[in-house]
Amino acid sequence: MKRKRFKERKMTLDEGIVLQKRMAAYMWSKAEFTDINMNGIIKDYKNLGRDIIVALQDFKCEHCGAKDITVHHFVGRKNKFFIDKKRYFVQRHYFANLGVLCCECHSFFHDKETPNNMPISEDRLDRVRNRFITQEDLEK
């Protein structure tokens, strides 16, 4: 039987969190940030953090419970000028730095209308649902 690639295997949220912590440690261990880019870990790290927080918040806005959600970064882009590039990236995309908000709450949080504040597509949400083991999967 052919072994599934790690990305194709369903995992629990706890396993996802541990994996992202290991990826963060790996990125910290690299001397140069460009070394990380070559290994292709950046995209996986960003996507995993986003997937974890969306699944943890049960695919709903943390504030009002709406279903048209976006991801908010608490350590924002304006902070990248004050800390080194590697630390900024690892902190910005770590699941604990992310929040799930609907488009209206996200705009309210920023106190302005944000034009690129598009909700996460339903296809993307389906991929997140398929990535993690749910309580229903455990009961089967």
- Domain ranges for the chain: 10-133
pLDDT in tens, 93-138: 888 889 999 888 888 887 766 555 678 888 888 888 888 876 666 6
18 or 29, higher pLDDT: 18
For residue 76, which of 85, 84, 88 has the smallest C-alpha distance? 88
Contact between 53 and 132 (Cβ < 8 Å):
no
pTM, two decimal places: 0.76
- Is residue 5 pLDDT above 60, yes or no? no
For residue 128, which of 69, 64, 50, 62 has the smallest C-alpha distance? 50
- Under DSSP, the state recorded for 121 is P
- Is residue 4 pLDDT above 50, yes or no? no
Cα separation, 43 vs 78, whole angstroms: 21
Calculate mean pLDDT across residues 1-29: 73
Question: pLDDT value at position 77?
Answer: 72
Angle between helices 85-92 and 13-29 (to 10 degrees): 180
pLDDT in tens, 37-61: 555 677 788 888 889 999 888 899 9
Contact between 45 and 24 (Cβ < 8 Å):
yes
Question: pLDDT value at position 3?
Answer: 40
Most confident of 27-31, 32-36, 87-91: 87-91
